[in-house]
Amino acid sequence: MASGTAEPPRGTTVRPPTPAEVRAGLPAEFLERLKDTLNVTDAQLASVVGIPRQTLVRRRVGGVLRRHEGDRAATVARVFNAALSYFDGNREHALEWLKHPHPALSGETPETPLEHADTATGATAVLDLIGRLEHGIPT
């Protein structure tokens, strides 16, 4: 690297939990790690994970996510990890891409990849889009 050039910030992937961990109930701290990693508000996290904001607050107190909540959070982590990989570990670029509308995901209302990933079907579409981009397939 040339002197005077800054290395782009590198991100760390979020280790997706195993199915057994999801079934047993993920610790609520997983949501906090995901929130910090994605640099989102409580409301944004609750929306993408698909749980009401008040439920998010209760889970923090109760300490354990229900199976469907943990599964959704794990899916969002996989979407982040795929974006991070596509951008060669550059967290800033991955987050910028996840938070800006993408034409391939737009219906009547443009959606960001992160918004689109709020359902299993949407997350699959985002992961498919990343795969197409990685392989140079037009979107």
In a domain, 139, yes or no: no
What is the percent of the chain where pLDDT is above 90? 73
10 in a domain, yes or no?
no
| pLDDT for res 9 | 53
Q: What is the mean pLDDT of residues 51-58?
A: 90
Cα angle 8, 77, 68; round to 5: 165
Instruction: Report phi then psi at 63, rounded to 5.
Output: 90, -15
The mean per-residue pLDDT over the stretch 68-95 comes to 96
For residues 13 and 6, give the distance between their C-alpha atoms in angstroms, rounded to a whole number: 21
- Establish if 7 belongs to a structural domain: no
Q: Report yes or no on 9 lying in a domain.
A: no
Model-wide pTM > 0.85:
yes
Q: What domain count does the chain have?
A: 1
Would you say residue 8 lies in a domain?
A: no
Buried b (16+ CB within 10 A) or exposed e, 119-130: eeebbebbbebb
**pLDDT higher than threshold 50 for residue 1:** no
Mind listing the pLDDT tens digit for each residue in 30-51? 999 999 999 999 999 999 999 9
The domain in which residue 68 lies consists of 19-134
| Structural domain includes residue 45 | yes
